[in-house]
């Protein structure tokens, strides 16, 4: 857990924007877990992941919106770039409504529904 000063320091590194997508963040929405109010919500992304030996201090952290941080998860460079490349290929196929694009659209909707259902369970216990 970070102190208010450490959070402000992390937040200011990108002038309050997600370091992945560039969307604006709201300082007071750090750690917000209300899935109905995630716009502007952010987390401290460990540039070198903790599992890979990265420090938990502010100097190893950048602000990331909740959406991007959860998509990155523990992926490192090569794996993250592969996911992005596959995403571009998939997006292109979906835009063309090719047979594989239609399948991907269906799989994406299924995944989003599954994620939402999974995330609602523990959160409803907290609220
Ligand atoms: Zn983002």
Question: For residue 62, which phi and psi values (nearest 5 degrees)?
Answer: -130, 150
Query: What are the E-state strand segments in 1-127?
Result: 42-46, 61-65
Residue 121 pLDDT greater than 70, yes or no: no
Q: How far is CA 11 from the centre of its chain?
A: 15
Say if residue 65 is in the same domain as residue 81. Answer: no
Interval between CA 95 and ligand 1 midpoint (Å): 22
Say if residue 64 is in the same domain as residue 79. Answer: no
Say if residue 82 is in the same domain as residue 58. Answer: no
Interval between CA 40 and ligand 1 midpoint (Å): 9
Interval between CA 86 and ligand 1 midpoint (Å): 18
Range of the domain at 86: 75-127
Q: Which residues fall within 8 angstroms of residue 20, CB to CB, at 6 or more apart?
A: 45, 64, 65, 68, 69, 72
pLDDT of residue 86: 95
Which tops the pLDDT comparison, 90 or 4? 90
What's the average model confidence in pLDDT over 53-74? 90
Residue 1 pLDDT greater than 80, yes or no: no
pLDDT averaged over every residue in the chain: 89
Interval between CA 69 and ligand 1 midpoint (Å): 7
Say if residue 86 is in the same domain as residue 38. Answer: no
Interval between CA 65 and ligand 1 midpoint (Å): 4
Residue 109 has which token pair? 């909707």
Which tops the pLDDT comparison, 39 or 123? 39
Interval between CA 16 and ligand 1 midpoint (Å): 11
Percent pLDDT > 70 in the chain is 94
Please give the tally of structural domains in the chain: 2
8: exposed, middle or buried (Cβ count in 10 Å: 0-12, 13-18, 19+): middle
Interval between CA 71 and ligand 1 midpoint (Å): 9
Residue 122 pLDDT greater than 70, yes or no: no
């Amino acid at each position: 857990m970070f102190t208010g000063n450490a959070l402000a320091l992390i937040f200011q590194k990108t002038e309050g924007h997600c370091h992945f997508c560039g969307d604006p963040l709201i300082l007071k929405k750090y750690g917000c877990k209300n899935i109905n109010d995630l716009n502007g919500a952010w987390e401290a992304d460990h540039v070198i992941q903790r599992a890979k030996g990265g420090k938990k201090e502010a100097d190893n952290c950048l602000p990331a919106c909740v959406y991007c941080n959860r998509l990155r998860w523990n992926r490192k460079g090569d794996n993250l770039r592969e996911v992005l490349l596959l995403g571009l290929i998939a997006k292109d196929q979906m835009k063309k409504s090719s047979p594989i694009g239609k399948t991907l659209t269906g799989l994406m909707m299924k995944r989003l529904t599954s994620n939402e259902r999974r995330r609602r369970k523990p959160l409803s216990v907290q609220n």
